[in-house]
Structure 1
């Protein structure tokens, strides 16, 4: 039978996120090898760190609650994972000090309670305020996924975070939620960084970490962005070759000229004198005329139909239309003979 992470933290399975944090705080301080000299303290400290590492993460906790330690560490079926048949199993990094340090802040929260020879100091009334140099925690970096529509119009995103906040006694702290508001400007690009200064966990003798969000663009079903331009690929299908009908007078296909054929090439979308429909990000339907010879490298540029420019949203980049020309998968011998005769005549 696998480990019971709830029992390790002396919790019931109905424990909330705040309960889990509170339990780890109490037990980790009690079992830390610097404070507890019992023989089993290091292993107990490691078990507490692993239990907290799992139960404090919503995804790991969800898998553990449903499948237990075996499912968590062995992987679960694809319907609960991403693209792979089985998810990768969880492996604890086996560094309890890392978990402790990330939770409390600083390399050693007990350092100010001990002298250089390891003996415990007597803390004067008023605590340790003002002792030691203040050190800021490393920044916390998170991705912010936005659609092209979000970046086209601009929008407001509200993100809830949970962080440690010092109480009025400046000695104890409480986990509290806070809403961070991000005003997305039209024209922001992938990689844009938004920083909230000192919004990380608070603690004695530390400066809270900055929280930074990095914009990532979601995949779009119609467009791909490049700088301030939008790329659209128009699929131009060619129908089956039929014999015995009159051909169109002139049809340009990928740079080749077919003229006065005795074979009709039924074209679903003409490559000359046609209009390509494009639905824009703001919902308009454009019918873009294409009167040039279309080859696989041809690009139709539509000025001013791209993404807004960050410093002047009234101006926009361009829409770049490329063509995916779909030729017939196969031809009968008669059709090949007719085409060969026409092209060589």
Structure 2
């Protein structure tokens, strides 16, 4: 092992943490046994691993800067040491490949982007660059009632996903609660994206989790864009003579709508501003549209037919 860690990494003692990482990245890739054919590359690769492990650790670096290699590996002299981590002896674990994998992440460090001075590293004379890609989105339906979409609400959804443990070599399954604030006026097909909340892996970017709004059916209303459709049955007498219809609203009111027109089979009553809230401006609303199902009598006596004919002349 070279006596000067800074010289090993080809940096000076004023190097920042970013400088140390940049130097190790460049030299470790250059002298890795899989990529270098230079004599002594294996030994140099090991030296780089030890130098980086010391200089990237604030306590080890401080001890090395003040007491040198002897103080780092032999322990701080008694007149300076007070026990604890600062006076403990340091010994490199001797596995530069472990240091390399911890730095780049994953069981296969060569399955990540490798660049030396912005130039893709070449292995065995062939250019090899593997781009770290993101997994495809995970799409799930989010079933909401018309009341939820009218009033707005908050939905809590528990997901289980694989996360990498500290060190990046193993993973475990952990639960997480995702919170969705449903805004008044959301429509069927609205997409809610949770970025990179999918399974983690050593050589991939976690997938986005996407929830897609699916509207449940409602016992009273049908939705048509921002309008609400309400259907009610009336008699032929009501259709011809006029009446009032009571419509209970989703927000708990009761509308009394007078119908003074002749209600024919294609007739509908439009009540402005009593439909769904507009997503862009919930203070504004679509319309309530009332459709009528006219119930005709199955039979009429001769006398009734005569009276109707007389009334309609």
Please state which band the TM-score falls in when normalised by the shorter chain.
0.5 to 0.7
Residue matched to 1:331: 299
**Aligned pair partner of 1:343 in 293, 309, 312:** 309
User: In 2, Cα distance between the equivalents of 1:270 and 1:226?
Assistant: 25
Match of 2:71 in 1: none
Residue-by-residue CA offset, 1:225-270 (whole Å, 9 max, x unaligned): 111110001111x3xxxxxxxxxxxxxx4xxxxxxxxxxxxx4x56
Tell me, in whole angstroms, the C-alpha distance in 1 between the residues paired with 2:285 and 2:278.
5
User: 1:227 pairs with 212, 225, 228, which one?
Assistant: 225
For residues 140 and 197 of structure 2, the distance between their equivalents in structure 1, rounded to whole angstroms, comes to 13
Helix, strand or coil for the counterpart of 1:292?
coil
Structure 1 CA distance for aligned equivalents of residues 181 and 249 of structure 2: 23
| Aligned residue among 261, 267, 283 for 1:314 | 283
Query: Does the residue aligned with 2:111 lie in a helix, a strand or coil?
Result: coil
> Which position in structure 2 is the counterpart of 1:129?
109
Quick check: 2:268–2:292 contact (8 Å CA) kept in 1?
A: yes
Partner residue, 1:198: 196
Structural RMSD (CA): 2.1
Q: Hey, what's the Cα distance between the residues in 2 that align with 1:272 and 1:172?
A: 78
User: What residue is the counterpart of 1:65 in the other structure?
Assistant: none
**Structure-2 change in CA distance of 1:190 and 1:336 (3 Å):** farther
In the other structure, the counterpart of 1:149 is 147
Shift of 1:338: 4.1
**For residues 302 and 272 of structure 1, what CA distance do their matches in structure 2 show?**
20
Residues 229-268 of structure 1: pairs in structure 2 closer than 5 A = 229-236=227-234, 238=235, 253=236, 267=237
Q: Tell me, in whole angstroms, the C-alpha distance in 2 between the residues paired with 1:295 and 1:341.
A: 20
C-alpha separation between the residues in 1 aligned to 2:302 and 2:169?
Answer: 87
- 1:215 pairs with 2:213: yes
Indicate if the aligned counterparts of 1:135 and 1:207 stay in contact, CA closer than 8 A: yes
Q: Any unmatched runs of 5+ in structure 1? A: 1-122, 239-252, 254-266
> What's the offset of the Cα at 1:157?
0.5
In the alignment of these two chains, the number of paired residues is 191
Supply the distance in 2 between the matched residues of 1:214 and 1:308 (Cα, whole angstroms): 19
Distance in 1 separating the partners of 2:286 and 2:209: 32
Structure having the larger proportion of residues in helix: 2
Q: Secondary structure at the match of 1:339?
A: helix
Q: Shift of the alpha carbon at 1:124?
A: 3.8
**Structure number, greater radius of gyration:** 2
Q: Secondary structure at the match of 2:109?
A: coil
Q: Secondary structure at the match of 2:309?
A: helix
Answer yes or no: is the 8 Å Cα contact 2:239–2:264 preserved in 1: no
Residue pair 2:272, 2:288 contacting (<8 A) in 1 also: yes
C-alpha distance in structure 2 between counterparts of 1:270 and 1:298, whole Å: 10
Query: Would the alpha carbon gap of residues 129 and 272 (structure 1) be closer, same or farther in structure 2, given more than 3 Å must change?
Result: farther
Asked whether the equivalents of residues 129 and 204 of structure 1 are also in contact (C-alpha less than 8 Å), the reply is no
Q: Is there any run of 5+ residues in structure 2 with no aligned partner, and where? A: 1-95, 102-106, 113-130
Cα deviations across residues 18-49 of structure 1 (Å, max 9, x unaligned)? Answer: xxxxxxxxxxxxxxxxxxxxxxxxxxxxxxxx
The structure 1 residue matched to 2:253, chosen from 284, 298, 310, is 284
The structural deviation recorded for 1:271 is: 4.7
1:61-112 deviations in Å (ceiling 9; x for gaps): xxxxxxxxxxxxxxxxxxxxxxxxxxxxxxxxxxxxxxxxxxxxxxxxxxxx
| TM-score, with length taken from structure 1 | 0.52
Map of 1:83 onto structure 2: none
Superposed CA deviations along residues 286-329 of structure 1, whole A, max 9, x for unmatched, are: 1100000101110101011001111111111110001011123x
Aligned to 2:268: 299
Query: How far apart are the structure 1 equivalents of 2:230 and 2:241?
Result: 18
TM-score when scaled to structure 2? 0.57
* Number of the residue aligned with 1:175: 173
- Give me the whole-angstrom Cα distance separating, in 2, the residues matched to 1:186 and 1:341: 52
